[in-house]
Chain A
């Protein structure tokens, strides 16, 4: 072995001996003490009970010291790093230390060998240890006759002396004074740490609020996911699967998210995905001519033959409406001429009142035409076609609603997480840790974004309550809603003309250069949806130019994504 290791080994051994004195170490070659026989056990029992009590005192005191030490350590650590609920942790650590000490005291009761040794140390001069050692009869039988006689005499002598042994008097309970001092010192330290304001407390509170908010939002998103899972039959299979996957991914990310930034990142990514799904749903819905459904339901309710189908259509009962329309097609040949005309007229009006381009409108127009044409067979077929178109349209609408609901839930989550983060930050204002930064962008994003999507989903009112929103959902709930006016960013970007601001007159000549190429609206307040694109483009260009961590890039993208008023707005 390398001689250098010998030195290290010696030092380690020395340290181990210091920490674990020889008196407490198991000694090499220590003979095991046998279990005493009944008579000897009875004689030793009072001493064992006394030593057990002493062990309880010692261990509980050690446990109390450990508890106070843990509390002090934890409180000091909570000043370096934010710890949520430090007092709770202190309490738990203290309880664990005390419970451990108590359990150890009960579990590690003094052995009979130790009891015998303690009794001997109190004046029996190894009589008890010897008697205990020779309780193992094999040790006696190995001895010769004289030795056996000595062993018997020794045992009698030991038992006689043990009977007169007053354990309470000879082994009085010792109260560890040094430990008391240590305990008192520790308690004073805990008290001082409790009274001395902790600059990390506000940060910890913020984290706790964020964690709670994330936990709440996990529940909310989980609820939406279950709804999609259970009622997502109306969605195209691919869309339903993607929506499920997106929500599951979001749940996974949220569950493992630590700080608010991580949660916001996950929520932002989910938001993007849902926006894609919503756009796809919208296109599907438009293709299916959703507005025509409303008109068809309204017209059918006014007819005798189609009243039931119209009511179910209006109630959104796709299955019921399908059955009624199927029934109507089957009975088309049996309808009276007045009923047929009435139905044909209703279908015709429904076809004309809507956009007239969608499959529902077209099918309604064809069915109306066939009914009016007195051709029962063709009418039955066209009513079946109408049924198919209606089913497809209702499915698309349901899917769009589900995606919209999911978007709403995600947006609410973003708002809640940002609010939680802000709550903590505002609380930490006194310590100077409150900053603008990523979470500061959240409120604006949430508020503006909600206004834009309301027009499509028609149920974004709740999202408009997002923090920092200046655009109530109600105001943006129609297609012609007005947007808040913002400053026109005509000079955003790096390559624009530079305006030089002159110094004070007393410090020399000033020079002003006209920037030129200013748009008509430059410098003026313009509606938000008109200038959003410019801001967004500049931001994307800027983050590509400058070095930014990926998480911050995502945050900026999410911010602008949430502000997006939508295509054509």
Chain B
């Protein structure tokens, strides 16, 4: 029976995600929401921007994901002198045994399944833009040759929100390519104790590979088939359009927002809501799913104006106002 098969697939989905979370949890202390959001991004086939102060375990978490998912992992430390070729690779002259010389492409660290772009805002815009094609098209072009990146391909970028000196804020086009922007919060007191115990003793944890890249691609396809009712889609549309000033039902948007979110925001909202529904044991998307994923999916996609910046508002404050002022509009 079709419904039984669906229940089985959903159970498999939940089980795999549970196992990955458990494996990551062997290394990471706390940050469950962050782990869930990163995993959601991976299952949606998107990229995530992790924002948090140094030392919160961002890099460790990404490395652990690479281990648990049996994916090729690479790390790029972004610095002001990093060049695009350092990321995508370059053609080098290679000498054959016969003595002939030819150009040979030397792939950069971008050619991996899971790429950690550490402190991405430290690189120059020129270098940052080298990531654009890779993130959106999942391919890179060097010279005249375009090369596909391995599947699955995920970029997990980090940036430090405090230390702004010598940084280059990501352009809007670059930000829009991140599926989620996840805020990594400071650990709780009890979590800090556990972190100390794990890192200052002989504690060693073995991370087991619980899923392959193929598994991840299969789960991503499954998540896209979760049904969503028209009224729920309409609500997602209203949430997105509410980020645009002038006609927004949100007072804060009309007053403090310079520019609203792009349609990629809507795609992220719906896809993330579908994954959340499956993880919640449901076969349908609920309004609550959309409300829950609205923060990571939209917070980096619209921009405050000068007045909003001066008021010290964050985009999360505006999203909260949007969620309050946009009705679900059920019949």
Using a CB–CB cutoff of 8 Å, the interface residues on chain A facing chain B are 17, 22-23, 27-33, 111-114, 116-118, 120-121, 125-127, 129-130, 132-134, 143-144, 146-158
Contacts and interface: CB of A to CB of B under 8 A. Distances in A.
Contact of B285 (A23, A28, A126): A126
A155 B2 CA distance: 11
A30 B225 contact: no
Interface in B215-238: 221-222, 225-234, 237-238
B6 A153 contact: yes
A200 B165 CA distance: 82
Contacts of B205: none
A154 B283 contact: yes
Contacts of B9: 146, 149
A242 to B, nearest CB: 71
Interface in B271-328: 282-288, 325-328
A150 B330 contact: no
Contact of A153 (B7, B234, B249): B7
Contacts of B288: 125
B234 A154 contact: no
Contact of A29 (B222, B234, B287): B234
Given A126-B284, A133-B231, A150 B225 contact: yes
B227 A114 contact: no
A27 B229 CA distance: 15
Interface centre among B4, B328, B329 (most CB of A within 10 A): B329
A114 B330 contact: yes
Given A152-B1, A154-B283, 5 more contacts: A126-B284, A130-B232, A130-B285, A133-B230, A153-B283
Interface centre among A32, A126, A158 (most CB of B within 10 A): A126
Contact of A31 (B5, B234, B325): B234
Contact of B232 (A111, A126, A152, A155): A126
B331 interface: yes
Contact of A146 (B6, B7, B284): B6
Interface string B163-193: 0000000000000000000000000000000
A151 B288 CA distance: 19
A31 B284 contact: no
Interface centre among B229, B286, B287 (most CB of A within 10 A): B229
Given A130-B284, A153-B6, A154-B283, A114 B331 contact: yes
B144 interface: no
A156 B222 contact: no
A144 B221 CA distance: 11
B146 interface: no
Given A152-B3, A153-B7, A129 B229 contact: yes
Contacts, number: 120
Contacts of A150: 6, 10, 225-227, 283
Contact of A117 (B6, B7, B328): B328
A129 B232 contact: yes
A116 B331 contact: yes
Interface residues of B, number: 38
B7 A27 contact: no
Among all A-B residue pairs, the 7 with the closest Cβ atoms: A31-B230, A113-B331, A117-B330, A27-B329, A154-B283, A133-B229, A149-B6
Nearest to A110: B331
25 contacts: A28-B238, A29-B234, A30-B231, A31-B229, A32-B230, A111-B331, A113-B231, A117-B231, A117-B328, A117-B330, A125-B284, A126-B285, A126-B286, A126-B287, A130-B227, A143-B225, A146-B6, A149-B9, A150-B6, A151-B283, A152-B1, A152-B2, A153-B3, A154-B282, A158-B284
Interface of B: 1-7, 9-10, 221-222, 225-234, 237-238, 249, 282-288, 325-331
A158 B283 CA distance: 10
A31 B285 CA distance: 15
A153 B330 CA distance: 22
B227 A151 contact: yes
B288 to A, nearest CB: 6
Contact of B327 (A23, A129, A132): A23
Given A129-B232, A133-B229, A143-B225, A149 B2 contact: yes
Contacts of A133: 229-231
A153 B2 contact: yes
Contacts of A158: 284
Contacts of B227: 130, 134, 143, 147, 150-151, 154
A134 B3 contact: no
A347 B141 CA distance: 142
A45 to B, nearest CB: 16
B247 to A, nearest CB: 9
Nearest to B280: A125
Contacts of A17: 249
Contacts of B283: 150-151, 153-154, 157
B327 A130 contact: no
Nearest to A126: B286
Nearest to B330: A117
Interface centre among A112, A143, A154 (most CB of B within 10 A): A154
Contacts of A27: 234, 238, 327, 329
A31 B231 contact: yes
Nearest to B288: A125
Nearest to B228: A130
Contact of B331 (A33, A144, A147, A157): A33
A151 B282 CA distance: 11
A30 B331 contact: yes
Contacts of A125: 282, 284, 286, 288
B330 A152 contact: no
A120 B2 CA distance: 24
A150 B233 CA distance: 17
A117 B227 CA distance: 17
B234 A127 contact: no
A118 B231 CA distance: 13
Nearest to B237: A29
Interface centre among B6, B222, B227 (most CB of A within 10 A): B227
Contacts of A144: 225
Contacts of A153: 2-4, 6-7, 10, 283
Contacts of B284: 125-127, 130, 154, 158
A335 B9 CA distance: 134
Contacts of B229: 31, 126, 129-130, 132-134
Interface centre among B4, B249, B283, B327 (most CB of A within 10 A): B283
Contacts of B329: 23, 27, 30
Nearest to A158: B284
Contact of A30 (B1, B6, B10, B234): B234
B237 to A, nearest CB: 6
Nearest to A118: B330
Contacts of A29: 234, 237-238
A121 B330 contact: yes
A326 to B, nearest CB: 92
Contacts of A113: 231, 330-331
A529 B238 CA distance: 92
A151 B285 CA distance: 11
A118 B234 CA distance: 17
Contacts of B1: 152
B125 to A, nearest CB: 37
A76 B113 CA distance: 79
Given A117-B330, A156-B3, A146 B225 contact: yes
A148 B283 CA distance: 11
A120 B284 CA distance: 12
Nearest to A136: B230
A133 B234 CA distance: 12
Contacts of B249: 17, 22
A22 B230 contact: no
